[in-house]
Chain A
Amino acid sequence: DVKVTQSSRYLVKRTGEKVFLECVQDMDHENMFWYRQDPGLGLRLIYFSYDVKMKEKGDIPEGYSVSREKKERFSLILESASTNQTSMYLCASSRYGSGANVLTFGAGSRLTVL
């Protein structure tokens, strides 16, 4: 089974703090994604990466950055957390090519910014 592991299930941070969300997948997937999920809005893509050191902006990249130094690890960084970044963050991975449509998600990281 593909496993996508997010290091923190619940975080509480203060406005202005730097936040790191870590995601690791163990199936050698090329593609990795960060989404946020908010009630009534569904999942919105923040950033994705299709290779080591490669990254592409999604729909809502403002206030976020990412890092992919190793194939299995994709980190989401909030340089200066704000209250409107309180959300559920979901990491996902998929294969390149014909398997790219099938996303496997991590369990999510619920971030509260006070």
Chain B
Amino acid sequence: RKEVEQDPGPFNVPEGATVAFNCTYSNSASQSFFWYRQDCRKEPKLLMSVYSSGNEDGRFTAQLNRASQYISLLIRDSKLSDSATYLCVVNTYNNNDMRFGAGTRLTVKP
């Protein structure tokens, strides 16, 4: 079983839609959680950290469920510019051991 698993998608949604991605992780001792965004043929960039209490950044909401070992990303009012691959990242053992999911591809259509 992979340490970090994501639905690869693709998710194809119309502009204005709400879309949610989930990510599961296998190590219950995992400490820190993140969502990165990767545009086509570009490098990953940090989108947001995921805090235990859940956190919001504009149209983006991230949540953590430690009991079920998953994190989620909710995007409201999707924009064309949200089209990208979203990578779930879990810091498992120490600050130098970041585990990446394979990514979920989102395409927002007009």
- A114 at interface (Cβ–Cβ under 8 A)? no
- Among the stretches B10-18, B69-77, B92-100, the one at the interface with A is B92-100
- B54 at interface (Cβ–Cβ under 8 A)? no
B-facing mask of A20-55, CB < 8 A → 1, else 0? 000000000001010100001111110010100000
Please give, as numbers and ranges, the residues of chain B lying within 8 Å of A108 by CB-CB distance: 42-43
Asked whether, in the complex, the Cβ of A43 is within 8 Å of the Cβ of B44, the reply is yes
Q: Number of A residues whose C-beta is below 8 Å from B?
A: 24
Asked whether, in the complex, the Cβ of B44 is within 8 Å of the Cβ of A101, the reply is no
Determine the distance from Cα of A44 to Cα of B75 in the docked complex, in whole angstroms: 27
Q: Number of B residues whose C-beta is below 8 Å from A?
A: 21
Asked whether, in the complex, the Cβ of A102 is within 8 Å of the Cβ of B46, the reply is yes
- A100 at interface (Cβ–Cβ under 8 A)? yes
- B91 at interface (Cβ–Cβ under 8 A)? yes
Query: Which B2-43 residues have C-beta < 8 A from chain A?
Result: 4, 8, 32, 34, 36, 42-43
**Given A42-B102, A42-B103, A56-B96, A101 and B34 touching (CB < 8 A)?**
yes
- Known: A42-B102, A50-B96; 6 extra A-B contacts, CB below 8 A, are A35-B100, A41-B102, A42-B100, A56-B96, A101-B34, A103-B98
